Amino acid sequence: MGCLYPLTGRAARYGHDSIVGAEMAAEEVNSRGGILGKELRLLFADDRSDPTYAVKVAQRYILEDRVDFLMGVVSSAVALAVTQVSRYFQVMFVGTDHASARLTLEAFQPFYFRVTNNTMQSMRAGVIYLSRRPWRRFFYIGPDYEYGHRQWQDFRDYLPRVIPDAQVVGSVWPKLFERDYRPFLQAVLEARPEVLVAGFWGGDTITFLEQAMEVGLFDRVQVVSFDAGGNYEVLEALGDRVPSGLILSARHHNNFPDTPANRAFVQGFWHRARRYPSYTAHGAYVGVHFVARAVERARSLDPEDVVRAGEGLELPTPRDREGFTSWIRPVDHQVVQEMYIGRTQPCGELPPARYLLGDWEVVPADVLLPTEEEVQAARRAAAPASGGKAGS
């Protein structure tokens, strides 16, 4: 498996955590005899969070290293480039961390699978959560690239279907890795929303929250972040400075669900790395197990056989609650999962974080994805503009 992750720069924590998670899973697979009796080997390379460079890495993996699978990628923009390489060479690409719904809708190609929730799932979950509250004035702030824009599209499109009297009072678009959010925060305060939907991840979330505290944002606006705002490394970095009552979610939570599988994953990671995992570790861990289960089901390494075996595959993950098992939808190769949304509150169980999420609400999996008819309609609508080439 040729794995692509950011190993330098602002997103490096995610890449290094992904390596630990992937290696944990590979050791589990190999301890049981490997895949079809063969050892699973992982190769890792820095994709530099750069689409052009990542394409070169993916091509090298396929042409020189002769990998059977591509896996990983944190940035949605990078994933949209790598999925084209996957399609051209007909090598399966397992997406473990990026979230743009475009990859399973308009840019879908049959050799792509995603094993973590996408922006549509997280933003629909957020809308459903908000529909149970009295707020009706919404503003969005997010990074000015594919991931941020797709979050806002998925939120905005679903909002009137669930909250018909909702008002969108504005949006602002800082660049990725912005250093000064204060001009954008001033625009938020001037618009006087009841809810600010934030679409940042990683270091951008930390910087945004620090500067939002400086201008007193949390005294005037309810801040929510439904895709990556609740990541452990954000709470870890802010320590006891985390404002209470932020409404957040993430693709994996170290303290929920409180099941044997999740506890074993989190503690297993800690014993290897001497730190608690960010969400990307979970994605990489699940990605390796997905490949192993799909190949064993196919009884073959032929890419088309593995694709067919991956469709509809049940995929137990550490984030599954008792009684629910994640699975892969055939129509879009997207994992189907419940979403968990919580509020920040003091908790010292997983130091150095001093706050974790609690007061959980669970949003059922079956309401978070478009119907098969909606999926096909989205692809038909995208085809004329792209000349029939997904992801252009």
Rounded Cα–Cα distance for residues 247 and 122 (Å):
13
pLDDT digits (tens), the chain, 392 positions = 999 999 998 899 999 999 999 999 999 999 999 999 999 999 999 999 999 999 999 999 999 999 999 999 999 999 999 999 999 999 999 999 999 999 999 999 999 999 999 999 999 999 999 999 999 999 999 999 999 999 999 999 999 999 999 999 999 999 999 999 999 999 999 999 999 999 999 999 999 999 999 999 999 999 999 999 999 999 999 999 999 999 999 999 999 999 999 999 999 999 999 999 999 999 999 999 999 999 999 999 999 999 999 999 999 999 999 999 999 999 999 999 999 999 999 999 999 999 999 999 999 999 999 999 999 999 999 986 544 333 32
* HEC readout, 160-212: HHHCCCCEEEEEECCCCCCCCCHHHHHHHHHHCCCEEEECCCHHHHHHHHHHH
Where does the chain have alpha helices with state H?
12-31, 51-63, 76-89, 119-131, 146-162, 182-191, 202-214, 232-238, 260-273, 279-298, 303-310, 372-386
Please tell me the CATH superfamily of domain 2-117+257-337, with its number: Response regulator (3.40.50.2300)
User: Counting Cβ atoms within 10 Å, is residue 74 exposed (0-12), middle (13-18) or buried (19+)?
Assistant: buried
Q: Do domains 2-117+257-337 and 120-250+339-367 have the same CATH topology?
A: yes
CA atoms of 231 and 386, how far apart (whole Å)? 35
Amino acid at 233: E
- Of 363, 271, 276, 256, the C-alpha closest to 318 is 256
- Helices (H) and strands (E) counted in the chain, each on its own, are 12, 14
**Residues 17 and 282 sit within 8 Å (Cβ to Cβ):** no
Q: Which two tokens stand for residue 372?
A: 């098969």
Tokens of 376: 């096909």
Residue 10: what pLDDT? 84
Distances from the Cα of 28 to the Cα of 52, 142, 319, angstroms: 34, 38, 18
Q: What is the separation of C-alpha 188 from the centre of its chain, rounded to a whole number of angstroms?
A: 26
Q: From CA 93, how far away is CA 166, in angstroms rounded?
A: 38
- Asked if residues 59 and 319 have their Cβ atoms less than 8 Å apart, the reply is no
Name the token pair of 139. Answer: 């503003």
- How confident is the model over 281-339, as pLDDT tens digits? 999 999 999 999 999 999 999 999 999 999 999 999 999 999 999 999 999 999 999 99
**At 329, phi and psi to the nearest 5?**
-75, 130
Question: What are the structural domain ranges in the chain?
Answer: 2-117+257-337, 120-250+339-367
- Torsions phi, psi for 261 (to 5 deg): -65, -45
And the tokens for 203? Answer: 């270091």
pTM over 0.85: yes
The domain 120-250+339-367 having CATH identifier 1.10.600.10: the answer here is: no
User: Nearest-CA neighbor of 285 among 132, 171, 116?
Assistant: 116
Amino acid symbol at 109: Q
